[in-house]
């Protein structure tokens, strides 16, 4: 029995997304399951990846790491909250309450999302380009022929490095967002530091900071896996690497926003409680 060409082509189109999803899930499983093996066998490569991912190749502008990007984003996000929050609240005479907005908005939503997007745009694109170049130049096949496991050596080392890098960098960016917001309110608008600090320290709490840290850790691992996967399956020469980078960026941005919604519901619920001290 001969299958008509159009029917066969339509069947292939329907099956291809399922195959891609299954391959991606298998890729993620192998990358995460190889963490213990990677820590034992590829420790030196992991340390090199951590250094490169954090500080880049010695230049902030060209080949820079994630630290400068997240620091700049943290300052910009905090300043934006200070400007918009104070302007809005001051309409009803509540400008000093901007400290509450900073404690909630920066910690729970804005800082984690901005840090994840900056990480994807900086470190993620580099990972896709590096792994994609290794794929089209057959370096990954060469690693396999040398007896090295390609996914642990190429992907899992980056997962570990990203998890180690993004958490402390995010915390620095979060603190800078607090300072930049307070600078706008106190210096630009001339508000009392005591009143602003009173409301800020009443509403900022360790649970929110810990939950935000968990969010950025999940975002970072998801971004790394997405970008490494698209680089690992890149085809079509240098042009294919560029296409893979574009697809990875789009997928990682969508994943960040989707995961943010899910984690916000899991960590704070639909009716988010407001806790304060003092």
- pLDDT tens, position by position, 84-123: 999 888 888 888 888 899 998 899 999 999 999 999 988 8
- 4 occurs within a structural domain: no
* Residue 219, C-beta contacts closer than 8 angstroms, at least 6 positions apart: 112, 113, 115, 116, 119, 166, 255, 256, 259, 260
Domain assignment present for 183: yes
> In the structure encoding, which two tokens stand for residue 172, read together?
């620095």
Look up residue 221 and give its two tokens: 């691992």
pTM: 0.87
pLDDT confidence bin for 62, thresholds 50/70/90: very low
Is 11 within the bounds of a domain?
A: no
Q: Which domain holds residue 77?
A: 28-268
**Does 33 map to a domain?**
yes
Q: Note whether residue 215 is domain-resident.
A: yes
User: What spatial distance separates the first Cα and last Cα of the chain, rounded to whole Å?
Assistant: 79
Tell me 109's DSSP state. I
Is 171 a domain residue?
yes
**Domains held by the chain: number:** 1
Q: Which of 110, 91, 113 is nearest to 102 (CA)?
A: 110
The sign one gets for the Cα dihedral 20, 163, 125, 175 is positive
In a domain, 194, yes or no: yes
Within a domain: residue 276?
A: no
CA 126 to chain centre: 13
């Amino acid at each position: 029995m001969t299958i008509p060409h159009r029917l066969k082509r339509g069947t292939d189109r329907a099956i291809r997304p399922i195959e891609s999803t299954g391959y991606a899930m298998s890729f993620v499983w192998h990358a995460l399951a190889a963490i213990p093996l990677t820590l034992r066998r590829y420790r030196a490569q992991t340390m090199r990846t951590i250094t490169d991912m954090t500080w880049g190749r010695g230049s902030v502008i060209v080949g820079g790491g994630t630290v400068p990007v997240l620091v700049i984003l943290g300052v910009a996000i905090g300043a934006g909250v200070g400007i918009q929050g104070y302007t809005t609240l001051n309409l009803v005479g509540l400008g000093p309450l901007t400290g509450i907005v900073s404690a909630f908005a920066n910690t729970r939503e804005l800082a984690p999302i901005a840090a994840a997007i900056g990480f994807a745009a900086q470190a993620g694109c580099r990972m896709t380009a590096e792994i994609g170049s290794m794929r089209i130049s057959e370096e990954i096949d060469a690693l396999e022929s040398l007896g090295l496991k390609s996914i642990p050596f190429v992907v899992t080392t980056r997962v570990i490095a990203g998890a180690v890098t993004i958490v402390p960098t995010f915390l620095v960016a979060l603190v800078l967002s607090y300072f930049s917001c307070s600078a706008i309110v106190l210096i630009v608008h001339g508000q009392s530091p005591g009143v602003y600090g009173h409301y800020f320290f009443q509403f900022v709490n360790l649970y929110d900071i810990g939950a935000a840290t968990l969010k950025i850790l999940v975002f970072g691992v998801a971004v790394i896996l997405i970008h490494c996967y698209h680089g690992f399956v890149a085809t079509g020469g240098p042009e294919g690497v560029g296409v893979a980078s574009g697809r990875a960026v789009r997928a990682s941005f969508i994943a960040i926003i989707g995961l943010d919604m899910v984690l916000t519901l899991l960590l704070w619920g639909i009716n988010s409680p407001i806790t304060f001290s003092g």
